[in-house]
Amino acid sequence: MTDSAETQRGFDLHTHSVFSDGTTRPAAIAREAAELGLAGFALTDHDTIDGWDEAREAAEAAGIDFLPGIEITTKQGGRSRHLLGYGISPVGGELFEALAAVRRSRLTRAKEMVRLVAEDYAITWEAVVGEEDVRTVGRPHIADALVAAGYFPDRSAVFTELLHPRSPYYLGTDAIDTVEAIRLVRAAGGVSVLAHPAAFRQRTPTSAAELGELAQAGLAGVELRHPEHRDDWMPPIIAAAAKLGLEATGSSDYHGAGKPNLLGQQVTDAATVARLRAGLATPR
Ligand code: AMP
Ligand code: FE
Ligand code: FE
Ligand code: ZN
């Protein structure tokens, strides 16, 4: 946990709403962030920006700062990498074509996974995509349908027992090459930050060499503080980030009731947010 003084000034730069796999609306995140005394927050739904308008409006009403963001599904050399993009232009372009393709692939994959799961558990596609605002469907939605049907106590239990990558019900999904995604974020006027480089569910952490490749491609920062990090994996990443001159961010990866992560659990200081913003083509 951060101390309260840091929470006061801090920004939570990684949150999810019902537009992807969070369980709360963008406006509710804004209100909760204001109640916590955060300086501001970024909405970073997976592969969609459709929650931005609601989040921005609610942040303005609550008197806190809003940084528009996204968490992009990418792959670096075959390994899954989540790339946070901040301040991208919402007006069309190559990035949005690539994101639409990722969402289409996710939809096909989720339908096929539901078909497999439904052979053994009584769930329907309608139950999986019950939330009308969901734009990016994933394993969490399948998990929530299984929880609602009474098979498992919570989302995490479904992942542990049924939807992990070695499960017979698991299918992969298309992802954008990470280096290409960094280029697309840049071309859309934004800055990119590598999400959770040492999350404990990954088989291995992002290596210094891999981080170097991403920095070379234009990566602006790396999420050094994240509730799911393995501390013993962090020292080489911290050293590489410093050597490469990358910004260091901290965020909660809040998913509402979908994960134990608490809003504001990790934060980024205002000076770092200002430097990230200075890298944007247009102030946002
Ligand atoms: P997908 O992108 O569809 O493969 O699903 C990955 C998403 O599932 C991540 O963005 C996480 O939010 C969520 N997730 C992964 N593991 C867990 C877990 N053990 N408990 C809850 N959510 C998880
Ligand atoms: Fe997620
Ligand atoms: Fe992620
Ligand atoms: Zn996330």
pLDDT of 92 over the 90 cut: no
Asked whether the predicted pLDDT for residue 5 surpasses 80, the reply is no
| Residue 69 belongs to some domain of the structure | yes
Q: In ligand 1, which atom is closest to the CA atom of 71?
A: 10
For 266-280, give the secondary structure using H, E and C: CCECHHHHHHHHHCC
Its domain, for residue 107, covers 100-161
Is residue 153 pLDDT above 50, yes or no? Answer: yes
31 and 83 housed in the same domain: yes
- pLDDT, position 255: 98
Average pLDDT across the chain, whole number: 96
Q: Mark whether 80 and 105 lie in a shared domain.
A: no
State which of 75, 136, 159, 226 you would mutate to test the pocket of ligand 1, scoring each by most atoms of that ligand within 8 A of its C-beta.
Answer: 159
Q: What is the mean pLDDT of residues 195-221?
A: 97
Domain termination site, one of 133, 161, 189: 161
- Judge if 108 and 87 occupy the same domain: no
Same domain, 82 and 193: yes
User: What is the C-alpha separation between 117 and 115, in angstroms, rounded?
Assistant: 6
Q: Are residues 118 and 28 in the same domain?
A: no
Ligand 1 atom 11, closest CA: 140
Q: Which band of pLDDT confidence, cut at 50, 70 and 90, is reported for residue 6?
A: very low
In this prediction, residue 7 carries a pLDDT of: 46
For residues 129 and 228, membership in a common domain is answered with: no
d(CA 177, CA 155): 28
What pLDDT is stored for residue 1 in this prediction? Answer: 44
Same domain assignment for residues 51 and 73: yes
Q: What are phi and psi of 198, to 5 degrees?
A: -130, 35
Query: Separation of 46 CA from ligand 4 center, angstroms?
Result: 7
For residue 140, the ligand 1 atom closest to its alpha carbon is: 8
**pLDDT tens-place string over residues 95-151:** 999 999 999 999 999 999 999 999 999 999 999 998 789 999 999 999 999 999 999
Domains identified in the chain, total number:
2
- pLDDT over 70 (residue 272): yes
What pLDDT sits at residue 248? 98
Same domain, 196 and 225: yes
Same domain, 85 and 187: yes
Average pLDDT over residues 236-257: 98
Burial class for 202, CB neighbours closer than 10 Å (0-12, 13-18, 19+): middle
CATH number of the domain bearing residue 34:
3.20.20.140
Is the pLDDT reported for residue 29 higher than 60? yes
Does 283 fall in a domain?
Answer: no
Tell me what pLDDT residue 131 has.
76
Ligand 1, atom 14, lies closest to the CA of 140
For residue 171, being part of any structural domain is answered with no
Domain endpoint, select from 135, 161, 187: 161
Angstrom distance (rounded) from CA 27 to CA 64: 12
Question: Per the domain annotation, does 11 fall within a domain?
Answer: yes
Single pTM value for the model: 0.96
Read off the pLDDT of each residue in 219-234 and give the average, rounded to a whole number.
98
Report which protein residue has its CA nearest ligand 1's atom 6: 139
